[in-house]
Chain A
């Protein structure tokens, strides 16, 4: 019996080690490609290898909002001063129960209108529509019955007048040149149907007129660790997957889409939590099924600063939502692997998200649990496993630090010694504790998930006040 358990434990340990090797291989290539691409992009910008253009495509910015009274006025005000010639801003209030609408009405000269909205995508009825013109930007505020974020975005698409739209979270701040940057892939390649921007943690910056005036990593460990996590994700894995147009996620916080294609694909789903990922998966599936040539690109130069949760409670809520969203999106499109298994987006991206993103936390938690058990019964080669685990953690630290420093030079951020110390500290904490804590959170995310299928995430917001919290 003991021999059987020993064999079983060995197989589990072997599986776990194999998984770690696969994952580290992926991370290795992510960081390698990230390094190559960021260096190349940095050089391109220094050598004016960009499509700079005076008259860009007109863009509609869609900002769905639910109970965003704290940040919305300031964020909309900032949107009126972007370095872009022609854009409109559409705020869709999805039945807020706080004073989101009142704050907006006080701050901007909105006039009630009966503007007709062409319903090309199904969504809840509008209750009121207001319009204002400020700084040559057309502002539209739509108040509608609550239907979820996807529903609000569908309303925004219906109300938009331009051929491309950008989705933006109500707590997010756009860098002044963000629209100019995010549209560039569309000019460079006619097959581009969607572009993802880089999302960074807004608690680190002071923005003035849309430009980063000051960059400081906050002392709060939860925020600091998320900064490192975002860097690894946005400057490594997304860049790697972008090599073959294989990103399955464009963050809802900042992404650009070709409107006609999104409408043809059916718009946002309203009964899912991860509507942003679901849409990108559907766009892939739609284009592959219709045998159309297309590209979904990632543009790290287009930067959006978004608020990261500051409390454990909020981050747990957020990650649970994300994980359920991931699950819903992945199980909805099995054809990505079954039918399109020869396409890189199928056998690399889709499998990557299944194995490392969705099942990864389960494997990690199970693996750690099993190793601890084995150690307890003295079944495993203890020094070997400890060494392996330490190298794995050290490797994670190394990769995260690389991604962080890549961003530092890529965005031209000036760091002081304190920030560097903070970065190293948070990277270590993130790779030794936070990462496994989040794995545990994600493993437990399915408990009671059906009840909150399409609800909005409610995370405590802080007012940006030149970077400091009010």
Chain B
């Protein structure tokens, strides 16, 4: 009995070993074939570039050929690599060339619907890489959207990246709703940095998304606020009103506060001053940090007070903020002679090392 089990294992493992070694040889062959395909595509695309430069149009046969060949994943990979190599050259010609491939892409998104998730994710990646200013047909993106059903994180991310490269904000909003409704986690940082890649009218995008923000999952809202912080100063009123509300999620609140570090608004100063003594340490930490952009006597007094806070990070941020303000009478203030001995370390360090009076 034991022998039989071990022999069965032995045979299966032998098969795995053969499979592994065969796979190595297959990959070498695959790489060789891929290099060959890349060379062929590069030459093909270069010919078409010449045609585009001469006549403005690509050869119809070339488009038909691509429609057929790019339905094979390995050909699509080789084509992408060839495009990638050529993209460094004449960008105008390449844009004109890619624009004329839109019908091919339309066919591909339909064809790839029936492939597995990894392959669909690759097509989404391909579209995300080259769609900007080239392919705008809503059908492409609506079909891509349908890829998201039961998608892996990689497929979702690639589809989202493709969505950010088309001009209709409503489709992006729809994608966010889909993530929310299906309770699919997508990291706030991925949302924020993905949105930052949107190449069209981002003010419209912001307005469209923000209108729907209450219906989005928290991580999407956080990413959206981060995106707005980088891109727009038109949200001072909205965010100011939100900051005054009591029932705002802590993470959202701290992100809103950070918005006012980048986009100065005098109305927020008293609010931030009061937040510097909030019972919640994260609020105090961010408040004293943001106050560095609001120099006034009241703020300096608040920050001085914060130097004796129980929380180490509040003290650290308060000292950094005081230094950022270049307070001229810092030597006379309580910063250097902290009221509590064991709290001296932070301001002293920042003064001497991080660009304070000694530098």
Q: Which residues of A pack against B, CB within 8 Å?
A: 17, 20-21, 24-25, 28, 31-32, 35, 39, 43-44, 46-51, 53-55, 57, 113-116, 118, 131, 186-190, 384, 387-388, 391-392, 394-395, 398-399, 401-402, 405-406, 408-409
Contact at B20–A405, with CB atoms within 8 Å?
yes
Query: Which single residue of chain A is at the shortest CB-CB distance from B3?
Result: A388
Contacts of A406 in B (CB 8 A): 20
Contact at A402–B13, with CB atoms within 8 Å?
yes
Interface-side segment among B97-105, B115-123, B165-173, B204-212: B115-123
Contact at B313–A55, with CB atoms within 8 Å?
no
Query: Which single residue of chain B is at the shortest CB-CB distance from A48?
Result: B125
Contact at A405–B5, with CB atoms within 8 Å?
no
B38 within 8 Å of A by Cβ?
A: no
Contact at B6–A47, with CB atoms within 8 Å?
no
Contacts of B185 in A (CB 8 A): 189-190
B48 within 8 Å of A by Cβ?
A: no
Q: A21-B2, A57-B189, A118-B313 are in contact. Are A402 and B353 (CB under 8 A)?
A: no
Chain A interface secondary structure, helix, strand, loop or mixed? helix
Interface string of B103-140 (1 = CB under 8 A from A): 00000000000000011011001000000000000000
CB distance from B350 to the nearest CB of A (A): 9
Contact at A35–B19, with CB atoms within 8 Å?
yes
Contacts of A35 in B (CB 8 A): 16, 19-20
Query: Which 10 pairs of residues, A with B, have the shortest CB-CB distance?
Result: A49-B154, A116-B345, A47-B122, A48-B125, A405-B20, A118-B312, A188-B153, A402-B17, A28-B9, A398-B13
Q: A49-B122, A116-B349 are in contact. Are A24 and B6 (CB under 8 A)?
A: yes
The answer for the CA separation of A41 and B77 in the assembled complex, in Å, is 17
| Complex A-B: 20 CB contacts under 8 Å | A21-B5, A35-B16, A47-B122, A49-B152, A49-B155, A55-B193, A57-B189, A113-B353, A115-B349, A118-B312, A118-B313, A387-B3, A388-B2, A388-B3, A391-B7, A395-B9, A402-B20, A405-B17, A408-B24, A409-B27
Contact of A114 (CB < 8 Å), options: B17, B77, B345: B345
Query: Which single residue of chain B is at the shortest CB-CB distance from A49?
Result: B154
B86 within 8 Å of A by Cβ?
A: no
Contact at A398–B14, with CB atoms within 8 Å?
yes
The answer for the CA separation of A24 and B23 in the assembled complex, in Å, is 24
Q: A17-B2, A21-B2, A391-B6 are in contact. Are A187 and B187 (CB under 8 A)?
A: yes
Contact at B219–A31, with CB atoms within 8 Å?
no
Q: A24-B6, A24-B9, A394-B10 are in contact. Are A49 and B118 (CB under 8 A)?
A: yes
B352 within 8 Å of A by Cβ?
A: yes
Q: A391-B10, A409-B27 are in contact. Are A47 and B119 (CB under 8 A)?
A: yes
Contact at A31–B13, with CB atoms within 8 Å?
yes
Contact at B17–A395, with CB atoms within 8 Å?
no
Contacts of B73 in A (CB 8 A): 47
Contact at B189–A187, with CB atoms within 8 Å?
yes
Q: A114-B353, A402-B16, A405-B17 are in contact. Are A388 and B6 (CB under 8 A)?
A: yes
Instruction: Mark out the residues of chain B between 10 and 58 whose CB falls within 8 Å of any chain A CB in the assembled complex.
Output: 10, 12-14, 16-17, 19-21, 23-24, 27
Contacts of B17 in A (CB 8 A): 398, 401-402, 405
Q: A49-B122, A113-B349, A409-B20 are in contact. Are A395 and B27 (CB under 8 A)?
A: no
B158 within 8 Å of A by Cβ?
A: yes
CB distance from A51 to the nearest CB of B (A): 6
Instruction: Mark out the residues of chain B between 135 and 154 whose CB falls within 8 Å of any chain A CB in the assembled complex.
Output: 152-154
CB distance from A279 to the nearest CB of B (A): 23
Contacts of B157 in A (CB 8 A): 51
The answer for the CA separation of A409 and B31 in the assembled complex, in Å, is 12
B348 within 8 Å of A by Cβ?
A: yes
Contact at A395–B10, with CB atoms within 8 Å?
yes
CB distance from B87 to the nearest CB of A (A): 16
Contact at A190–B219, with CB atoms within 8 Å?
yes
The answer for the CA separation of A131 and B157 in the assembled complex, in Å, is 38
Q: A391-B3, A392-B6, A395-B9 are in contact. Are A51 and B352 (CB under 8 A)?
A: no
CB distance from A307 to the nearest CB of B (A): 27
Query: Which single residue of chain B is at the shortest CB-CB distance from A18?
Result: B2
Query: Which single residue of chain B is at the shortest CB-CB distance from A384?
Result: B3
Contact at A114–B349, with CB atoms within 8 Å?
yes
The answer for the CA separation of A35 and B12 in the assembled complex, in Å, is 12
Q: Apart from A24-B9, A114-B353, A395-B9, what are 15 other A-B pairs with CB-CB below 8 Å?
A: A21-B5, A35-B20, A46-B77, A47-B122, A48-B121, A116-B345, A116-B349, A118-B313, A118-B316, A189-B185, A190-B187, A190-B219, A391-B3, A395-B13, A402-B20
Contacts of A20 in B (CB 8 A): 2, 6
The answer for the CA separation of A55 and B193 in the assembled complex, in Å, is 7
Contact of B154 (CB < 8 Å), options: A17, A28, A44, A402: A44
Contacts of B353 in A (CB 8 A): 113-115, 131
The answer for the CA separation of A381 and B118 in the assembled complex, in Å, is 53
B346 within 8 Å of A by Cβ?
A: yes
B179 within 8 Å of A by Cβ?
A: no
Contact at B348–A114, with CB atoms within 8 Å?
yes
Contact at A50–B3, with CB atoms within 8 Å?
no
Contact at A48–B122, with CB atoms within 8 Å?
yes
Contacts of B268 in A (CB 8 A): none
CB distance from A52 to the nearest CB of B (A): 9
Interface string of B209-237 (1 = CB under 8 A from A): 00000000001000000000000000000
The answer for the CA separation of A135 and B190 in the assembled complex, in Å, is 26
Contact at B7–A28, with CB atoms within 8 Å?
no
The answer for the CA separation of A31 and B24 in the assembled complex, in Å, is 17
The answer for the CA separation of A319 and B253 in the assembled complex, in Å, is 51
Instruction: Mark out the residues of chain B between 270 and 314 whose CB falls within 8 Å of any chain A CB in the assembled complex.
Output: 312-313
The answer for the CA separation of A401 and B18 in the assembled complex, in Å, is 10
CB distance from A74 to the nearest CB of B (A): 28
Contacts of B3 in A (CB 8 A): 384, 387-388, 391
Contacts of B316 in A (CB 8 A): 116, 118
The answer for the CA separation of A406 and B185 in the assembled complex, in Å, is 32
Contacts of A51 in B (CB 8 A): 153-154, 157, 190
Q: Which of B21, B219, B348 has the most CB of A within 10 A?
A: B21
The answer for the CA separation of A39 and B20 in the assembled complex, in Å, is 9
The answer for the CA separation of A272 and B158 in the assembled complex, in Å, is 45
Contacts of B20 in A (CB 8 A): 35, 402, 405-406, 409
Contact of B16 (CB < 8 Å), options: A31, A50, A388: A31
CB distance from B191 to the nearest CB of A (A): 11
Contacts of A31 in B (CB 8 A): 13, 16
